Amino acid sequence: MLDLALAHAPSPGRAIASAAFALDLRLGQFVAQASEPLVAQLRLAWWREQLGKRCEERAKGDAILDAVTLHWGENSRDLGALVDGWEQLLAGHPIADTALIEFADGRSRIFAGLAVLAGHGRSIDEAARAGRIWAFADLAAHSSDNAERRVILDLAEPLAGKAVHLPRTLRHLTILGELGRSALLRGGVPLLARRRDALKVMRLGMFGR
């Protein structure tokens, strides 16, 4: 799904987006694969510490951290909220509504940051809404707990009432937001569940709607 969306990013912005989403994937793997919450918390703490530093003070040699630092510069410090968001999922079940909201808010920082780096400061709020929609939809699609999925859908409902509209250079974010919105409106199904979803990606990529 991400690869399909990022294929529609303008080439100057594709590496910027890819770096942030690679970081998001890495953090999600820490949370999903940890046998003990403490293990994941220690790994997340390292990332929080590194992102909190100035670029020239960070550790070198991790491909994802190096890419984020290169392409995001000092703006990458805002991605510390992404770490905080993923950490919310380490809480015991059921996960509190406030934790789910913080999770979505944290992941939305990618979208808001990409809007800023693309020079679309006026679109920050809409980009962040798209990010929250995508985050909630992705979480709902991966939830095996029906009650938890229902809570996620309820939290996302106010965000998903209208289509996502972003500038052309942020079309990859429009695609993710709209796929997420469609998945939420269908009860939290996977974002690419049907052939028509792939066709929707093509349509959004071409026309933005």
At 56-110, the pLDDT tens digits run: 999 999 999 999 999 999 999 999 999 999 999 998 778 999 999 999 999 999 9
pLDDT category at 183 given cuts 50, 70, 90 is very high
Sign of the four-CA dihedral 134, 162, 105, 72: positive
Terminal CA-to-CA distance of the chain, rounded, Å?
17
Q: How far is Cα 184 from Cα 200, in angstroms, rounded to an integer?
A: 15
Report the pLDDT value the prediction gives residue 6, as an integer from 0 to 100: 92
Residue percentage of the chain with pLDDT more than 70: 93
> In this structure, are residues 178 and 163 in contact, taking their beta carbons and an 8 Å threshold?
yes
CB 79 within 8 A of CB 51: yes
Q: pTM of this prediction?
A: 0.93
